[in-house]
Amino acid sequence: WTAFTVSFLISFADALDFYTMCYSMHKIADYYNTSKANMSQAITYSILQRTLGGLFSASFGSSFGQKYMVMLDMVMLGSLQVAATFCKNVNLFLIIRALFGLGMSSLFSLAILHLIKNSPQAKRTFIGATFQCSTPLAAILAAGLNIIFHEQDDSWRKMFWVSASVSYFCVIVRFIIPEYKTLQAQEVVSQPETESRQDWRARMRTARDNTIKKPWYQIKTMLQMHWRIFTYSAILMCLSTWYSHAINDTYVTFLIFGKHNRNRTANVILMIIKSTSVPGIVMSGALGQLFGIRRVVIPLGIIAMGLIPAALLPYSRWGLALGGAFLNFFTEAFLALFPAYIGRNAPSQFSIILPAMAYQLGACISSPSSQLVNVFGQNLYFHRKGQRIPAYQYVILTTALITI
């Protein structure tokens, strides 16, 4: 339970940092006097750095332990969140958000690695799916912060400060909870009580060389032996993350500018929708554990496709909330099983690095999804009752149907 708690908190803080940016994007765009499409580059740059961040965490985490790597990442993310609030221009803000992506991907990789290594083999599907409840809960908190701090253009700064404080809190929690047993055992073997200075220097040189060479060697070997499985896994993760970012990252913008809701109303609708994620994810994890992932994923995906128009086309508040709640229940359940499915398909000798690299590569390829939705949604229009409305709903609808 300690491994689950640590991984859950890490993922929660990581997602909260990200969603505070997504849900306040229109405010930040107004603050810097730029377009929403231009500001969505911050999301693109963050996601684009995921592969580099994953390699960085794999290199240093495997040699020096995930505990201190997580603490370093959390401090970096919190500091970057605070630094972003003091940027004087949009270009500096985008640079800081790009650096944010390095730590963001490292945290997710380290969190899932910590959880997998401490979970029983027979329960990994359920635990891996339940672990992802942290993301919708972080989205609910980010939407709540968006309501609390009202509609002022600079209220996004307060949201960033709150998310940074959560990151620093996770550093304290991770420091208190010890490293998992497998790494402790390795450290006991590799660090005898009596060790000369010369032996210590030789061991540190070996650790430094392994930090650089070992992960790259594993990746090269994995691609040579199992490139088909890796390609298949990367495509699955690309499509799933493309769908997720295309909808989740732009949903508040869609509700405000595509449906003409106020900031408070849009975030209340979002909180109602996201509240169905947790039961959906838990249900899919339990069903996937009992009946197999493929038998559960396919019907969930078919149901989700049928519910997409019901979630995007209504104009009433309750129509959007109810349609979105049902869609979110099935799509979150659908998407939560993919990491466990990829992990189960991975060969045993690459059970960690193949899913991690497939996820990071898929996320990297899908990085422009949010920006494309904003570009097309902002520049395409349709007319309804004499009003010229940005075509966010049709852009998101098309993207969702294609990716699912």
State pLDDT tens for residues 347-380.
877 766 777 778 778 888 888 888 888 888 888 8
For residue 192, the model assigns a pLDDT of 47
Average pLDDT over residues 93-105: 80
Rounded-to-integer distance, Cα 199 and Cα 203, Å? 6
Band of pLDDT at residue 88, cut at 50, 70 and 90: confident
Angle at 76 between CA 71 and CA 81, to 5 degrees: 130
Band of pLDDT at residue 388, cut at 50, 70 and 90: confident
What are the structure tokens assigned to 193, written together?
């009580």
Band of pLDDT at residue 223, cut at 50, 70 and 90: confident
What's the CATH number for 2-189+215-403?
1.20.1250.20
Q: Enumerate the domain spans of the chain.
A: 2-189+215-403
Reduced to 3 DSSP states, what percent helix, strand and coil does the chain have, rounded to the nearest 5? 85, 0, 15
State pLDDT tens for residues 266-316.
889 999 999 998 898 888 888 888 888 888 889 998 998 899 998 898 989
Phi, psi of 372 (to 5 degrees): -65, -40
Average pLDDT over residues 33-55: 76
Band of pLDDT at residue 195, cut at 50, 70 and 90: low
Angle at 230 between CA 224 and CA 233, to 5 degrees: 175
**Does residue 163 surpass a pLDDT of 70?**
yes
Neighbours of 379 (CB within 10 A): 12
Burial of 270 (0-12, 13-18, 19+ CB in 10 A): buried
Amino acid at 61: G
Longest dimension (CA), the chain: 83
